[in-house]
Structure 1
Amino acid sequence: MLATFLIGLREGLEAALVVGMLVAYLSRMGRRDVLPRLWIGVALAIVLALGIGAVLTFGAYALTFQAQEIIGGLLSLVAVAMVTWMVFWMQRTARTMKATLEGHVDRALAVGGMWAIVLIGFVSVSREGIETTLLLWSMVQSFGDAPSALIGALLGLLSAVVVGWLLTRGLLRLDLRRFFAWTGAILVVAAAGVLAYAIKDLQEAGVVPGPFTAGAPVDLVTGAVATGWGAFPLGWAFDLSAMIPPGSPIAAVLQATVGFMPQMSWLQVVAWVLYIGIVGTFFIRGLRRGTRPARPAPAPTTDAEAPRGATALLAPTTQEAR
């Protein structure tokens, strides 16, 4: 529940802030008459996300086990790709997002068509909606505890709506840069866990070699698939099921937070480590670039010299950072 709550809060707040910026800009321009069109686009995006979730949830029942595992693994890979792209996209465009959105609105109003504003509302929310749906669906498949995971996601989304409304009304102050930095790090770790589970799905389907295929190394004593260093690369990396039962609360917490499973194959471990190492490194570099102070422009030469220390470097405000 905690993992899906944080994902719902993060993704929902992104969408809420984007919609809040659009509403505020249209209101400031005196064009509240087009707000219903914007809300139509937002509603269509929500319906699309719910529709995708329904198709993924109920459509799987008509498939064979192998087909379910293949589709689940591939969709989990898509979710990992979307999350990774969105995390870095937010780092690159956070400072210019407000100006970009306002430019889209200006062009839509210049065209004068109803569907232009509807499209802006739809596109602005559909990205987060589809990403959230795929990620939550993948996590529910891996957790095996749909009710609590869905409740956590719903609470996160509702909290995001409330927080977004308070922010746009000026009733709440929040360091959005720090918030998205921490939640971005959480998403990177969560995506690594989803990637590991995607590998497991594809291994169970026989698409990716591993412990479930004929090429897996076998322990000569027990006759089971080998575990440990000698089982690299197609066997089990470790099996802690005796110490941490797969259905226990601690196993659920570890899987929800860091993507740990009591039994993992070598390919799962390698994929998890490589993802954390590569994506985590670039993510931290992006944070450092974002916090590096900009060099002040040289002051123009004038007859009367300005007092020293009169120029100060101001950090971007919360809205400018968005």
Structure 2
Amino acid sequence: MLANYLIGLREGLEAALVVSILVAYLVKSDRRHLLPRIWAGVAAAVAVSLAFGAILTWGPRGLTFEAQEAIGGTLSLVAVAFVTWMIFWMARAARAMGGELRGRIDRAADGGRWSLALVAVLAVGREGLETALFLWAATQAGTRDAGGSSAPTWEPLLGAGLGLASAVVLGYLIYRGAISINLSRFFAWTGGFLILVAAGVLSYGVHDLQEAGILPGLNSVAFDVSATIDPGTWYATLLKGVFNFSPVTTHLEAAAWLLYAVPTMALFVLGVRRRGGRPRQAAPVPAEQEPAAAGR
């Protein structure tokens, strides 16, 4: 649940910052009459993201077990690729995000009637689709029972919902100037945590592809600590829910986890350290709040 909360919080805060920048710029430039188009685009992006999540959840049902595992494993790999790109992109391009969005607003305001709505759909929809895909993959990985099947549960969705709600509140407070958080530090810590979550999702995806018969080595077990870490205990549930840790792990799953987590974390930490002396470069906040918020 904690992992899904942080996924919802991080992705939701990115989307909330995008909306805050769009709204603040329109208000500051005396174009309040265009705000309904922004909100229409946000509503459309949310609807598309929910529909995408529903398709992921109910679409594969009715297929053979092997087909479900193949689809689940492939989408897990896609989710890991998307979230990895998102983590590094946000760390690198945060400084220019506000200016880029304002440039899009200026061009869209001079364009067609629904141009601004399209800007909002594209800016927020990308975050929504990434969130839906990664939450689905993390939820599938986190709800696998000891026998290897997936059992539906409401806890991951509750965690993600709470994270999104927290992000909306934070976005509004930042827009109103009520709070100022160190966004550079926030995205650094959550980015590192999500790399570990993504490594677990990758391992789970590899296991799915092994069960589908696409990858070999399903019976080649690297370690089995189920006698020490009872899957029914609270700490086993915590490890499974947060890091997708499996007491029984194949050699290929372990190799995939290590080959992803170690170099990805190393590159991420090096990038954070390079930007560590320039905190002003990673704090995209609305309009007139930028200098004060970035300097804290």
Is TM (by shorter chain) over 0.5?
A: yes
Report the secondary structure of 2:95's partner residue. coil
Query: How many Å apart are 1:316 and its aligned residue?
Result: 5.4
| Contact 2:49/2:128 (<8 A) preserved | yes
Q: 1:188 to 1:115 in 2, by over 3 A?
A: same
Give the TM-score taking structure 1 as reference length. Answer: 0.83
What CA deviation, in whole Å up to 9, does each residue of 1:226-266 have, x standing for no partner?
xxxxxxxxx11001112223343222211233332101111
263, 267, 280: which one pairs with 1:282? 267
Aligned counterparts of 2:180 and 2:47: Cα–Cα separation in 1:
31
222, 225, 230: which one pairs with 1:240? 225
Aligned counterparts of 1:280 and 1:256: Cα–Cα separation in 2:
20
| Contact 2:4/2:157 (<8 A) preserved | yes
Report the secondary structure of 2:229's partner residue. coil
Q: 1:172 to 1:63 in 2, by over 3 A?
A: same
**1:29 — aligned with what?**
29
**2:39 — aligned with what?**
39
Q: 1:10 to 1:140 in 2, by over 3 A?
A: same
**1:70 — aligned with what?**
70
**1:255 — aligned with what?**
240
| Contact 2:195/2:261 (<8 A) preserved | yes
What CA deviation, in whole Å up to 9, does each residue of 1:33-58 have, x standing for no partner?
11111111111111111101111111
The root-mean-square deviation of aligned C-alpha atoms, in Å, is 1.7
Aligned counterparts of 1:316 and 1:97: Cα–Cα separation in 2:
10
Q: Does 1:133 align with 2:132?
A: yes
Aligned residue pairs total 279
**Percent identity, aligned pairs only?**
51
Aligned counterparts of 2:281 and 2:199: Cα–Cα separation in 1:
32
Aligned counterparts of 1:267 and 1:151: Cα–Cα separation in 2:
32
Report the secondary structure of 2:154's partner residue. helix
Q: Does 1:101 align with 2:135?
A: no
**2:149 — aligned with what?**
none
Q: Does 1:157 align with 2:164?
A: yes
| Contact 2:80/2:201 (<8 A) preserved | yes
What CA deviation, in whole Å up to 9, does each residue of 1:194-237 have, x standing for no partner?
000000000010001112xxxxxxxxxxxxx4xxxxxxxxx110
Report the secondary structure of 1:173's partner residue. coil
Q: 1:317 to 1:135 in 2, by over 3 A?
A: closer
Q: 1:75 to 1:247 in 2, by over 3 A?
A: farther
Aligned counterparts of 2:52 and 2:231: Cα–Cα separation in 1:
29
Runs of at least 5 residues in structure 1 that lack an aligned partner in the other structure: 212-224, 226-234, 294-313
Aligned counterparts of 2:176 and 2:127: Cα–Cα separation in 1:
22
| Contact 1:190/1:256 (<8 A) preserved | no
Aligned counterparts of 2:282 and 2:74: Cα–Cα separation in 1:
40
Give the TM-score taking structure 2 as reference length. Answer: 0.90
Aligned counterparts of 1:249 and 1:119: Cα–Cα separation in 2:
46
One-letter code of the match for 1:197?
A: Y
Q: What stretches of structure 1 move > 2 A for 4+ residues in a row?
A: 245-249, 255-259, 314-322
Greater share of residues in helix: 2
147, 153, 174: which one pairs with 1:146? 153
One-letter code of the match for 1:132?
A: T
185, 193, 201: which one pairs with 2:192? 185
**1:82 — aligned with what?**
82
Larger RCO (CA under 8 A, 6+ residues apart): 2
Report the secondary structure of 2:222's partner residue. strand
